[in-house]
Amino acid sequence: MSYEITISGPDNELEASFVPELGMIHCSLRHRGEECLHQGHGLAAYAQHGATYANPLLHPWANRLSAWEFELDGERVRLDPESEITHRDGATGTAIHGLLAASPHWQVLDADRHTLTAELDFGAVPQYMAAFPFAHRLRYAATIDESRLVIELTLVAGEQRRVPVSFGFHPYLTLPGSERAGWDLQIPVAREVLIDERMIPSGSTAQLAPGELDGPLAQRTFDTGYDRLTGEPPWSFSLADARRRITLTQDAAYPAAQIYTPDAADFICFEPMTAPTNALISGAGLRWVDPGERFTASFTLAVEQLG
């Protein structure tokens, strides 16, 4: 039986819930009792087949890969399309969103009213190492400070070899009680990654003017990657209606982003990414953690009442 751990701010206006035994899924973000994470097909569907839901961690890669088998730092990576830990994108047939959806291997280290810390030893799970042979540990820390949730992920490389960094998060954000057409967006992106028919980066990009994508969501749709953001970090993406603003702010460890909202969806995803889509294969923007060293990335979700 899965259980939720809920943390809250000092005034209880903002609450966040997580299910450690199902991938440390961030399953709820409630502001003044109203849900700000789209619940999609629900927790059970997420647990069974990684369905759209809330705010999952995407690791060891975010978004799509161009191949199921490839060489990485002298190691042959062979992903099994039929494995229970891989997910095939229905539209493109590509491997998508990593291996840890609903992972049962997280261990809670500490939890109190305002904070939650958990750890996953990737190298101790044979199934994970068979798919991605780079031993490491992950530490996930969530804290609510006033009106913002801080999510920090630290990757600690094993002692034998370096580990690539290509993780991200996929928060399905929503503004309860209003229509998406009226949501106002602030999107600090400077360069779009152009894609091929499988939604894999083609190697070409398109420059964007500052503020070019800001304004009402209206009927716009997105499933678009950006490998350069506007100005200096931290970078803040936001959506707002007459009552409330949600702002996602990502630090310098997340220099890329994906934005996703299909036609008529009552959510938008601002996805912080440590590397652009397909970086494990293309090498574009890919960083590495040396043996025994660590890499930490954090982003915040802040909710503000407007009226």
pLDDT at 50: 82
List pLDDT tens digits, range 167-208.
Answer: 999 999 999 999 999 999 999 999 999 999 999 999 999 999
In the predicted model, what is the mean pLDDT of the chain? Answer: 96
| Mean predicted confidence (pLDDT) in 78-91 | 95
List pLDDT tens digits, range 100-117.
Answer: 999 999 999 999 999 999
Q: What is the DSSP string of 101-164?
A: TT-S--EEEEE-SSEEEEEEEGGG-HHHHHHS---EEEEEEEEEETTEEEEEEEEEE-SSS-EE
235 alpha-carbon distance from chain centroid: 15
List pLDDT tens digits, range 6-48.
Answer: 999 989 999 999 999 999 999 999 999 999 999 998 999 999 8
Number of separate domains in the chain: 1
| Mean predicted confidence (pLDDT) in 285-307 | 97
Structural domain boundaries, residue 278: 5-305
Sign, CA dihedral 175-177-178-179, equals positive
Query: Is pLDDT at 129 greater than 60 in this prediction?
Result: yes
Type of residue numbered 153: L
| CATH code for the domain in which residue 237 is found | 2.70.98.10
Report the alpha-carbon distance of residue 13 to residue 24 in Å, rounded: 22
Alpha helices for the chain (secondary structure H): 42-49, 126-131, 279-282
Type of residue numbered 37: L
Residue 290 neighbours by CB under 8 Å, 6+ apart = 157, 162
Q: What is the DSSP string of 254-283?
A: --EEEEEE-TT-S-EEEEEESS-TTHHHH-
| Mean predicted confidence (pLDDT) in 89-107 | 96
Residue with tokens 């993780």: 167
| Mean predicted confidence (pLDDT) in 68-89 | 96
Phi, psi of 249 (to 5 degrees): -120, 125
Report the alpha-carbon distance of residue 181 to residue 264 in Å, rounded: 9
pLDDT at 147: 85
pLDDT at 19: 98
Query: Is pLDDT at 1 greater than 50 in this prediction?
Result: no
Question: Would you call 24 exposed, middle or buried from its count of C-beta atoms within 10 A (0-12, 13-18, 19+)?
Answer: buried
